[in-house]
A and B are shown apart, each in its own frame.
Chain A
Amino acid sequence: MSYISSYCHISSTIYSVNGQVANTFESGTLDEIISELYTSLDIKYSKFHKMDQLSKIGFIGTELIKRDFPAIDNYGENDIAVLFANRRSSATTDINFLDSYQDGGIPSPSLFVYTLPNIVIGEISIRNKWFGENMFTISNHFDANYFANYCDILLQKSSEAALCGWVNVDDNKIEAFFFFITKKDIKQLNLQLNSEKLTEIYRAI
């Protein structure tokens, strides 16, 4: 049995933590919204500025979860599995990389390294010194059944917790949902992990 101990949503208009709206954004470009979110975190992490949008949103979502659930620091460095997913892989960066060479230009190495969706997991692992299980999957819809089942499976094996993210940054829209799964209901949110509960909180905003 596993529990959802923290969750947050980020869209192009609001972000919320555990279902409570934490901030709303004035209309702006994606880069402006991402910049506003990063500034509101009040952290200095120079690597953030070279990331693509997918990695930036993944990074910010993880920071929001950590802030809501500081006990995350008590886990060992191999303990936390990171499972992320989205609809369109690294599509936005793929297009930017293609644009870099299409009209006789020189292919951009700094864009190319972000043309793999799991780079966001790498960025989060580097930031937090997490050496646990990794997996990036691609699906048309948020697959609550997969996340609930696979978190349970990993937590019954060698992982103690799982950080999950459904992270879409395409067509000038952000749709992201992050949740942290633990073996005990440490924060007593009373959210036992199953696909129905996960679907319910995913849709709640």
Chain B
Amino acid sequence: MITYIGSENIISPLGNSAEENFTHVSNGKSGIELFKNVGVGKEDLYLSKIKSLEVDHKFDYLLSNCLDSIINASSDNIINSEDTIVIISTTKGDIQENLATPIQASVDKLQQDYNLAHTPLVISNACISGVLAMNTANNFIQANSYKHAFVIGADAISSFVLYGFQSLYAVSDEPCQPFDKERKGITLGEGAAGVLMSSDPTVFKKESFEFVEGTSSNDANHISGPSRTGEGLYRTVNKTMELGGVKTSEVDFISAHGTGTLFNDEMESIAFDRLEMNAIPLNSLKGYFGHTLGAAGLIESAISMQSMRNNTVVKSLGYANDGTSGGINILTENIEKELTTFLKTASGFGGCNASAIIRKVK
């Protein structure tokens, strides 16, 4: 049985649909701008922040708007079906406005508002949450637990998270430059993205893709520092490729995690080197969207699905000079070619790593 994936949507500073976001990204436009007085001690910082989003409970707004778009791009009524699960990926939810129950209050509201047949499954597993949510949807569909899964990731910028990354000296004073020699850290972003996954290809209004396989693996090394050998990333990619029966030569491009921190990007380059994926065109999309945490895996997968629709792999914005030791093929220009298959990876605090393979339906 094939798991189909499509109806992708993105809400970010670059737009409110996957198409609009992809158009800007393929033109090299970034959502990152300088904001005044936002950091610790009123420091000015670069953020990828949705300026038009001046509502209370931004997280709730992002979730429901993203879900609406996926519903509109899919068959009527499957959202309320007994055969459907909603899977939500987030790290901190509505932490800015609801410290006591930052996630569950919003999810309960969503379940009521949309009259969902099942309680949504909420995955909060640091920066791999989005990829893990797709992997979980695939596992449910393959096991016949559900036929359809609406998978949405969202996180809003909060002083809580911004101050936290600043306390770790992990925030760049320039727009982030993943994999570049001069990289100085992350740029925080906000947004939402989602997909529909299903065993039935007819529920998608546009062409869907095949979600081939997805797995996760822990580094078993350090809670906030990446493994020096890229251990967990190496293992999850190997496992995904093996279970999916996909050869390295079949992967057209890699949508890497690439946060822009010294240690993370170095770790990824080592893992891809060990995987002998050095020649495969690779990008990080953080230069366009910043690091959107629980939304990142889904935003980046949705852009990569748009890449396949448009047969264009976008360059890794912010990258100019090689700054990692793995010897990998980071894109400095967009590439136009017939695309069939991509690999998505993510890594996060807690030593977690996840990977997934998506390809055009054969």
Binding site for B on A (CB under 8 A): 77-78, 82, 87-89, 91, 94-95, 97-98, 101, 106-109, 112-113, 115-119, 121-123, 125-126, 128-140, 143, 146, 149-150, 152-154, 156-158
| Chain B: number of interface residues, binned into ranges | 35 or more
CB distance from A54 to the nearest CB of B (A): 12
CB-based nearest A residue for B123: A137
Report 19 cross-chain contacts, Cβ distance below 8 Å, ordered by A residue.
A97-B164, A113-B223, A113-B349, A116-B350, A117-B124, A118-B125, A121-B350, A122-B222, A126-B220, A131-B232, A134-B218, A135-B125, A136-B123, A138-B104, A138-B124, A140-B119, A153-B139, A158-B215, A158-B239
Most chain A beta-carbon neighbours within 10 Å: one of B40, B142, B216, B348: B216
User: How long is the Cα–Cα vector from A88 to B92 in the complex, in angstroms?
Assistant: 11
CB-based nearest A residue for B144: A153
Binding site for A on B (CB under 8 A): 40, 91-93, 95, 99-104, 107-108, 119, 121-126, 128, 132, 136, 139-140, 142-143, 145, 160, 163-168, 215-224, 231-232, 235, 239, 243, 348-352
- Inter-chain contacts of B163 with A (CB < 8 A): 101, 107, 112
User: How long is the Cα–Cα vector from A106 to B163 in the complex, in angstroms?
Assistant: 9
User: How long is the Cα–Cα vector from A97 to B243 in the complex, in angstroms?
Assistant: 41
Contact A131 B101 (CB under 8 A): no
CB distance from B347 to the nearest CB of A (A): 12
Contact A94 B350 (CB under 8 A): no
Quick one: which of A91, A112, A122 contacts B168, CB cutoff 8 A? Answer: A112
Contact A131 B217 (CB under 8 A): yes
With A89-B103, A107-B40, A134-B216 as given contacts, are A126 and B143 in contact (CB-CB < 8 Å)?
no
User: How long is the Cα–Cα vector from A39 to B101 in the complex, in angstroms?
Assistant: 33
Contact B104 A122 (CB under 8 A): no
CB-based nearest B residue for A170: B100
Contact B121 A137 (CB under 8 A): yes
Contact A109 B168 (CB under 8 A): yes
With A78-B217, A130-B218, A140-B108 as given contacts, are A118 and B139 in contact (CB-CB < 8 Å)?
no
